[in-house]
Amino acid sequence: MRNLTRISHGVNRQKPLLENQLGMVYWFVVMSIPQKKLREAVFQLMYGQDFSPFSQEEAGPGIMEQLAMSKKNTLQAVNRVRAIMDRWDAIDAEITKVSSGYTVESLGSIERTILRLALFEVLFDEEIPNEVALSEALRLCKKFAHPESTRYIHAVISAITQPEALAT
């Protein structure tokens, strides 16, 4: 049996599936990929680029299988990676600006990838609040990097999102 979900008014909806006797309309809800899963797919595609540059189209099938993602969601991740890669120079410049004594190249691959992803979200993606970008960067760091890296990741992102806090 198909899952039916009641959606409140004002939400973008597809055609109604059925209406019950009380006038409640039920709609099919198209399940999109959770943002956490999408972010992890983007992270993995970007991380792979550090070791062996490849086309994202080549990596798509592997990501689809590993993360159990649809072709549409994999394409969404690939497009996001392309957008981030187009802005790597600007992102790396921001990291270098606030990282005293470190260059982007001297960072570990995992930390560098997490920072690039998070700073893309902070600097170029208006739909994601800075707090969410920071929180998700720390989550990725705890999951994929050394636990102590979270301090550095937090400091860099905070320095960029809250430069006035460093001035005091």
HEC-encoded secondary structure of 56-77: HHHHHHHHHHHHCCCHHHHHHH
DSSP per-residue letters across 73-129? HHHHHHHHHHHHHHTHHHHHHHHHHH-TT--GGGS-HHHHHHHHHHHHHHHH-TTS-
Domain count, the chain: 3
- Its pTM stands at 0.74
Mean pLDDT within 139-151: 92
Least confident of 80-94, 95-109, 132-146, 153-167: 153-167
165 band by pLDDT with thresholds 50, 70 and 90: low
Tokens of 168: 């005091």
The pLDDT assigned to 111 comes to 94
**Tens of pLDDT along 29-60?**
334 678 888 899 899 889 887 777 666 566 66
List the Cα angle 160/163/168 in 5-degree steps: 150
CATH number of 142's domain:
1.10.940.10
Separation CA 122–CA 133 (nearest Å) = 6
Domain range enclosing 104: 87-168
CA-closest candidate to residue 155, choices 85, 109, 101: 101
| Same-domain check for residues 74 and 93 | no
The pLDDT assigned to 56 comes to 57
User: Please, is 28 exposed, middle or buried when counting C-beta atoms within 10 Å of its C-beta (0-12, 13-18, 19+)?
Assistant: middle
| Same-domain check for residues 21 and 54 | no
The SS3 assignment for 32 reads: coil
Separation CA 19–CA 53 (nearest Å) = 52
| Same-domain check for residues 97 and 148 | yes
Mean pLDDT within 67-93: 88
| Residues making up the chain, counted from first to last | 168
| Same-domain check for residues 123 and 56 | no
| Same-domain check for residues 97 and 164 | yes
CA-closest candidate to residue 56, choices 38, 42, 36, 40: 42
Mean pLDDT within 95-111: 87
| Same-domain check for residues 155 and 168 | yes
| Same-domain check for residues 8 and 20 | yes
Q: Which is more confident, 39 or 7?
A: 39
162 band by pLDDT with thresholds 50, 70 and 90: confident
Mean pLDDT within 74-87: 88
